[in-house]
Amino acid sequence: MPDPSTTSGAGATTPDATADLTADLTANPDVTPLTAPRPASALATAQAQLASAVEILGYDDGLHRMLATPRREMNVAIPLRRDDGSVELFTGYRVQHNISRGPGKGGLRYAPSVDVDEVRALAMWMTWKCAVVDVPYGGAKGGVTIDPSRYSRAELERVTRRYTSEIMPIIGPERDIMAPDIGTDEQTMAWVMDTYSVNLGYTIPAVTTGKPLPVGGSLGRATATSRGVVHAAAAALGDAGVRLDEVTTAVQGFGKVGSHAARFLHEAGARVVAVSDQFGGIRAADGLDVPALLTHVAHTGSVVGFEGADAVSNAELLALDVDVLVPAAVENVLDEHTAGRVKARWVVEGANGPTTTGGDRVLAERGIVVVPDILANAGGVVVSYFEWVQANQAYWWTEHEIAERLEQRMASAYAAVSALSRRESLSLRDAALVIGVRRVAEAHQIRGLYP
Ligand code: NAD
């Protein structure tokens, strides 16, 4: 399905030319070096997804390389003086994958698994996600390789402030705007905003989103990703004439995304039969009392031990006999092996990159519909965009306005992806990627290549 208005240079890319793009990029000293990703790494998945979209769109190799290569990256050393006086050193990253449609936008992750390739993958997914829901942003992501559960609040504040001051030259409301991700929260965003503002001498709320309400956060932001997941699930089910109150569901991950997704699914009438977190999972065939579970988690810090439920492992949860599976934790949980055991009819990706390329192939072969991350979890960036718009205008919208606009954006993005998928016989993932990648390529094409 080549679109001549968005291709550049001579001819279409052949499948052979794009088969191993990463190896090609690594071998070629003239392009930004990309560390060769590990097999089934998030970056390998992201690059393979882009290669698939590029092949469908018929783009040439030059454009493919531009789309595949991060525009700008910063690695920083973060020394922390611990509460006991000793000093530890961490590494932090900020990757701006693409800024052709607007400022970089993307979360900040604190996890021991963070490395530059993971951040590159997450930044690339942000680029396509912002384009799919048509918000005027590019894609970016940040991370610090740290296990936040091992550090005090004061230590995490110092890490956050030092990281922010190190990456100050490349962030800002018109350059790159941060939001919470795994291991960070609205307090982290307040520290980032404060550090940035104090250094510049005045308050600049629009440098982060997902902030607390008293410092310019938006109503509805904390639950926006989860609301979007449920809108996307409802729309996908609707394509098959099924309603949320007719289905059973299992949710992996019970953090900012998974916990509210479980709550909204429960409120919509779906039977939530299993949930999990990093410590383990629980199941109840008749459905979990999600409000009571939220209280349990607030007191204990985990879903484990919830009264009246049986234990289930994270691996078992993925293979439960439910209608809708919502992975909302980490990457690569559905690979070619685990995907073969999935019994759900729909997989709605709350997490970024939960399905590997092999996993995608197996799910497709088995007729399981995957609502892809760059569509299903885009509600967060949609309301982040609303928060940024409100901060720039210094004018605040009601929760009802936010919820209504979010639902409209999710509905129109889903409708466009679903229509393209039907028209061109593409998976929802390929259709979403084609829409996102084409919008970014169009921006490149229209802006032209400088100099
Ligand atoms: P979070 O830190 O609030 O929650 C993560 C949850 O996953 C926790 O319950 C944790 O215990 C669990 N978990 C961690 N490792 C696990 C493992 N190996 N197996 C099972 N569970 C595990 O993070 P979050 O913000 O909810 O993010 C979850 C996912 O959603 C990530 O992929 C993130 O990039 C994506 N996402 C988040 C947002 C957002 O607005 N927060 C937006 C879009 C996408």
Domain boundary among 173, 208, 243: 208
pLDDT tens column, 82-106: 999 999 999 999 999 999 999 999 9
Judge if 188 and 326 occupy the same domain. Answer: no
Indicate whether 153 belongs to any domain. Answer: yes
Judge if 186 and 247 occupy the same domain. Answer: no
What share of the chain in percent tops pLDDT 90?
A: 91
pLDDT, position 32: 36
On average, the pLDDT of the chain sits at: 92
Q: What is the mean pLDDT of residues 296-300?
A: 98
Number of folded domains that form the chain: 2
Does the CB atom of residue 209 touch ligand 1 within 6 A?
A: no
Write the CA distances from 394 to 189, 215, 400, integer angstroms.
18, 11, 18
Does the CB atom of residue 350 touch ligand 1 within 6 A?
A: yes
Where residue 18 falls among pLDDT bands split at 50, 70, 90? Answer: very low
Instruction: Among 11-15, 71-75, 78-82, 217-221, name the one with the lowest average pLDDT.
Output: 11-15
| 272 token code pair | 């939530």
Burial of 22 (C-beta count, 10 Å sphere; 0-12/13-18/19+): middle
Q: How far is the CA of 216 from the centre of ligand 1 (A)?
A: 24
Judge if 198 and 245 occupy the same domain. Answer: no
Per-residue b/e over 263-294, b at no fewer than 16 CB within 10 Å?
A: bbbbeeebbbbbbbbeeebbbbeeebbbeebb
First to last CA, the chain: 30
Indicate whether 279 belongs to any domain. Answer: yes
Residue 59 carries which side chain, given as an amino acid letter?
Y
Burial of 109 (C-beta count, 10 Å sphere; 0-12/13-18/19+): buried
Question: Atom 40, ligand 1: which residue's CA is nearest?
Answer: 380
> What amino acid positions are annotated as catalytic residues?
141
Judge if 236 and 199 occupy the same domain. Answer: no
Does the CB atom of residue 380 touch ligand 1 within 6 A?
A: yes
pLDDT, position 201: 98
For the cut 90, the answer to whether the pLDDT of residue 13 exceeds it is no
Alpha-carbon distance 177 to 45, whole Å? 25
Judge if 238 and 115 occupy the same domain. Answer: no
Q: What is the mean pLDDT of residues 396-420?
A: 98
pLDDT, position 31: 36
Question: Atom 14, ligand 1: which residue's CA is nearest?
Answer: 278
pLDDT tens column, 197-240: 999 999 999 999 999 999 999 999 999 999 999 999 999 999 99
Q: How far is the CA of 112 from the centre of ligand 1 (A)?
A: 13
List the 139-145 sheet strands across, edge first.
72-81, 87-98, 139-145, 104-111, 176-180
Indicate whether 422 belongs to any domain. Answer: no
pLDDT, position 115: 98
Domain boundary among 310, 343, 376: 376
Q: What is the mean pLDDT of residues 408-431?
A: 98
Indicate whether 451 belongs to any domain. Answer: no
Indicate whether 231 belongs to any domain. Answer: yes
Domain boundary among 208, 233, 250: 208
CATH number for 130: 3.40.50.10860
Q: Please report, to the nearest 10 degrees, the dihedral formed by the alpha carbons of residues 77, 81, 83, 88 taken in order.
A: 50
Does the CB atom of residue 329 touch ligand 1 within 6 A?
A: yes
Judge if 315 and 173 occupy the same domain. Answer: no
pLDDT, position 387: 98
Indicate whether 446 belongs to any domain. Answer: no
Q: Give the angle subtended at the CA of 339 by the CAs of 237 and 407, to the nearest 5°.
A: 30
CA 317 to mean position of chain CA atoms: 21
pLDDT, position 15: 32
pLDDT, position 47: 98
Does the CB atom of residue 92 touch ligand 1 within 6 A?
A: no
Judge if 230 and 204 occupy the same domain. Answer: no
Judge if 68 and 199 occupy the same domain. Answer: yes
Atom of ligand 1 lying closest to residue 210 CA: 40
Range of the domain at 251: 224-376
Judge if 195 and 285 occupy the same domain. Answer: no
Alpha-carbon distance 346 to 322, whole Å? 9
Which residue among 221, 230, 254, 330 is best mutated to probe the pocket of ligand 1, counting the most ligand atoms within 8 A of its Cβ? 330
Judge if 241 and 296 occupy the same domain. Answer: yes
pLDDT tens column, 370-398: 999 999 999 999 999 999 999 999 999 99
Alpha-carbon distance 275 to 48, whole Å? 30
Indicate whether 162 belongs to any domain. Answer: yes
Indicate whether 146 belongs to any domain. Answer: yes
CATH number for 359: 3.40.50.720
Per DSSP bridges, beta strands 346-348 and 324-327 are: parallel
Judge if 275 and 351 occupy the same domain. Answer: yes
Write the CA distances from 283 to 51, 168, 289, 307, 315, integer angstroms.
39, 45, 11, 11, 13
Judge if 118 and 156 occupy the same domain. Answer: yes
Does the CB atom of residue 133 touch ligand 1 within 6 A?
A: no
